[in-house]
Structure 1
Amino acid sequence: MTTSFGCLDRRYCAVTITLVAAALLCAGCDSHPAAVDASAAPVSTATPPPKAAPEPGSTALAEATDPRSFTTTGPLVAEQQADIAAERNGRVVGINVRIGDRVKKGQVLAQLDDRTLKSACESQKARVASAQAQLREWQSEQLTAESDLRRADAMRDAKIISEENWEHAKYRVDETIAEVSRFREEAAASEADLNAANVQLEQSHIVAPFAGVVGRSTVRPAQEVKPGDVLFWITAEAPLEVLFTVPETAMAAFTAGKPLEFATADIPGFHQEGRIVRVSPVVDPASGSIQVVGAVVHPSKLLKPGMTMQVRLAP
């Protein structure tokens, strides 16, 4: 019995040693670091370098700090410009000016056929004269009838004439008063018709509303026109202004009275003095800019309304 138990103990010890060795081997394997794939790209954690700031004296820095470096463009316009349109129906029978002609205020630019209107005016003048003549006659009749009524009043009071005769005198006065009123209204209506005919006759003359230059002409001989048809475009030669916008970031430097310098690509090397005359008090929220009006000081004869001007604050 003693021998059997000894053998069992030896076998049990051998199994125990084997299990312990296997456990130590597994622990050793887990303790080694994991293999790294050499083909994988390394991940960079470095922060990208900041963008370089504008160097002192650079254009970007100058535009950001000095509004005088700001340059913009705007149209050159005259203070007075107008489309000249026909005011009535008619046929063009005469054209007196061409593009580029200088005109005076009230000068006739074109003529519409006015023969029918002239005849109507003459007819209306005759009607007015006839109504006025009849009005004067009935006014004279009224004075006579009123004088006869006063005598009839005295004779009726003296029992010299009958009531019937007095009523006849009274009726005559009432009749003349009614006729005077009728012909006064007729004369007034005839005068109104004459005035309307005269207005239409005047509208037959297409005239310049101010002194300037004919910039455009769309009229041709024998053309049939109607009210609203534009026939000419007139622009004054002076004063001249430039309309331009300034961003909100630079508007503090653009105040009324500041001197300006104008240039144009149409005339190389050309420079023109100016000054700010008006500044809008409102910023346009859509563009973040304000409207500025600059007047041209002693404008050159080379400048023409409609040109595009380059604008900057004068140094």
Structure 2
Amino acid sequence: MISFNKIINYTRAKIGFLSIALTAVLMIGLLPGCGSTTENTTSPVTTTPPPTTDYTVTFPLTIKDQTGQSFTFTKPATKIVSLAPGNTEIAFSIGLDANIIGDTTYCDYPPAAASKPKMGGFSTADTEAIVAAQPDLILTANLHITKVVPQLQSLLPKTAVFTLNPKTIQDVMDAMILVGKITDHLKQATEQVAALQAKFDSVTSKTVPLTSFQKPKVLYVLYPDPLMTVGPDTPQYQLVELAGGLSISRGMANGYPTMSIEALVAANPDIIITSGMGTAGSAKDQILNNPQLQTVAAVKNKQVFDIDGNIIQRMGPRLADGLIAMAQVIHPELGIK
């Protein structure tokens, strides 16, 4: 296994859901030059191997969440409320199904998550329902930090309001280990991280050897109108590059910048990947039917693909599936499964 020290180092920045990004549109960035070279710049995603096979967690346990806040758990957390779909998927993936006593209206994967009591919406929390449930662990996300977290800490001072704030693929792996520790599910978490590693390796073992000449120019469209893409510090950008593409948003602003139609035409991507719906029908259809984009190589050659946004935008274990899906459309000749 290649050391994680070779992973792409990204500047950390807040990553919100689509509707949050739409209310905080960044300035239009300048597209980079796309001159080809033979240099291979893609680094594989790898995780730090566990230092031991002893998965015993000793309580009391003092540990920090992904915002740096310290918590002391006198015993494993067993009654969990999850306030973000990515958090819910992490918890389910490490075997905490029976321990989840509530999640959000957006938590729909795995299917069992949809049947859990609903205790919040997109960026809100049903504090009355949460207090009534008396959880010993509330898994929050970055969009809750300013308002929801302090509110819950005030209402439930003895409950750990623990924030998962992953901004890279590695951060997702780390979040899984954190939740595994505080719930005494470290063995399950470590095994799931290893399984994800195998998925990433199945892709990067084929894409890392590619040269720039072999990599198509790719645009990932988060939203078509206004045209919003992903900056270099986002996991979606990382997925494009690891899948063997050259993101045309390289050099743009961090986060989720907008770009003009003129800039898109000038960049002339070979492949465009969309996720979700646009203002009128699917984002894919809006791109394909835009008369201003008919000369763009991706549109002209019908190389516009829609991938389920849940496996690309949710900060959970299905990012590995998102990487596989991206690699399949960017490099179908590699036979990645």
Task: Name the TM tier (shorter chain).
Answer: under 0.3
The TM-score normalised by the length of structure 2 is 0.19
Larger Rg: 1
The TM-score normalised by the length of structure 1 is 0.20
Q: Relative to total residues, which structure has the larger strand share, 1 or 2? A: 1
Q: Select the structure with the greater relative contact order (CA < 8 A; seq sep ≥ 6).
A: 1
